[in-house]
Amino acid sequence: MKRDEQANKLSLAFSVENRPGTLAAALQELAQERTNLTKIESRPVHGRPWEYVFYVDCQIHTPAAAARALAALKPHCAMVKELGRYQEAERG
């Protein structure tokens, strides 16, 4: 995947086990890397009751911070997938 070195936003998908606190633990890892969560959306996994994939957008400060955040998520998640890094649109 080609990465934009000027990227300040990260989109990813992840899933966690259906146990109390697993989502909070995953989100805490993102907070530890000082990412700013701008969107979270849950979608059910077809054919698997009570299983969800979470789609997240967050602001990042450096490519290294994004890599650390992804690595930190992996021990807490059943699946982690980076969907893209890009420059956030300017608001005007």
**What is the CATH classification number for the domain harbouring 82?**
3.30.70.260
Q: How many helices (H) and strands (E) does the chain have?
A: 2, 4
For residue 57, the model assigns a pLDDT of 96
What pLDDT band is residue 90 in, cutting at 50, 70 and 90? Answer: confident
76 belongs to a structural domain: yes
For residue 11, the model assigns a pLDDT of 96
- Rounded to a whole number of angstroms, the CA Rg of the chain reads 13
Contact 76, 25 (CB under 8 A): yes
Whether pLDDT at 1 is above 60: no
What pLDDT band is residue 7 in, cutting at 50, 70 and 90? Answer: confident
Structural domain containing residue 78:
9-86
Contact 13, 52 (CB under 8 A): no
pLDDT digits (tens, 9 = 90+) for 8-62: 999 999 999 999 999 999 999 999 989 999 999 999 999 999 899 999 999 998 8
64 belongs to a structural domain: yes
Element (H, E) at 67: helix 63-73
91 belongs to a structural domain: no
Q: How far is CA 11 from CA 1, 5, 33, 75, 86, in A?
A: 13, 15, 15, 19, 9
What pLDDT band is residue 4 in, cutting at 50, 70 and 90? Answer: low
Nearest-10 crossing angle of helices 63-73, 22-32: 160
52 belongs to a structural domain: yes
